[in-house]
Chains A and B, each alone.
Chain A
């Protein structure tokens, strides 16, 4: 078990170091996130719709799109110079490769969200100060499940035709439970309802995360074996 996590950590660190050196993917994803927020702002009539009605949806949809963009690059990285073959030849478990990729993706998406959230607050003038810890936890819960499935799928689609198109088509149905639950819970938070009322949503989100991390870890070896 400790080997599994240690190897996973090494893989994640490798990915993050590569990312840190160029920063292209991070900056592009961030710019994309900001642009989506801006586009959403012009997609509503401020005199007709209260921002609080739309804010939970805007936040969750933007982060879903950003995560999807980020996931495309996770295994794209390994296509260059047959790096994936090299990775598979190393004497480590396939599952730790998956977990490593998952950690790196989560760090990447989490960082984008950490910058995106304040911008969202500024753009849409939503008071989140008093619910920030709960909101952060909620976003984390909904991101984990989505990225867990996405990491698994991105390992498959890179070797298909039309990879960039295939990932959203396969993955968006899987974003529905996290998205719906996150929107419901965020709406409650924004309107000042106590956290207890969202407990059911949070439990279901956690269940989704656990089930799909487990399932993806189990299934990942099938996507890379030759």
Chain B
């Protein structure tokens, strides 16, 4: 079984499980008291954000490994992860405003986390553009690794600096020092969705990596 077909299989399983996320979110979780039905998008938005961040983190890691070990597989992985991350970023940036409009009364606000994810998106775009603009594979690998590392280091700074402005985005409710502050049934759905989105990320990256491998040998 080739990598591409294994990746397709993982993706199909993840998509079937995603149907489960929709069913759980729509039929088996209670309506949130203040946000109403709009809150349901949370089960897609937060896991998509997670996958986008995971993708960028792994681009940074693969970039460091590429510069250290000069193994082209790390470069191919970084390229695949960046493209998949861009897709998740788009999901996050479209579901966010859809939720914000009814709940905050505005599509967009220059809040710390929103600005951060917008720049995450622009970093991805810049990364992919740079890859396209360099023809030589060795040079492309090195250049994009440099940008990948700088981008990963930049994100905490953007977060800190825009955080000093003001923040409107809901605070973390699961990954925080005290216990998660949402009902068990919602938490289970969210964690399940996290798993599904991670699996989707893996499936997509496997397929994209296989494409990159084909290009390299062509």
Q: Which residues of A contact B (CB under 8 A)?
A: 149, 152-153, 156-157, 159-162, 166, 169-170, 172-174, 176-177, 180-181, 184, 200-201, 204, 207-208, 211-212, 215-216, 219, 222-223, 225
Contacts and interface: CB of A to CB of B under 8 A. Distances in A.
B161 A166 contact: no
B157 A177 contact: yes
B3 interface: no
Interface residues of B, number: 29
Contacts, number: 84
Contacts of A159: 134, 139
B145 interface: yes
B130 A176 contact: no
A201 B153 contact: no
B34 interface: no
B150 A152 contact: yes
Interface in B123-164: 123, 125-126, 129-130, 133-134, 139, 142-143, 145-147, 149-151, 153-154, 157-158, 160-162, 164
A161 B160 contact: no
B162 A180 contact: yes
Interface of B: 67, 115, 119, 122-123, 125-126, 129-130, 133-134, 139, 142-143, 145-147, 149-151, 153-154, 157-158, 160-162, 164-165
B126 A176 contact: no
B150 A219 contact: yes
Interface of A is mostly: helix
A156 B130 CA distance: 9
A213 to B, nearest CB: 12
A181 B143 contact: no
A144 B116 CA distance: 22
B109 to A, nearest CB: 15
Contact of B149 (A180, A200, A219): A219
B125 to A, nearest CB: 8
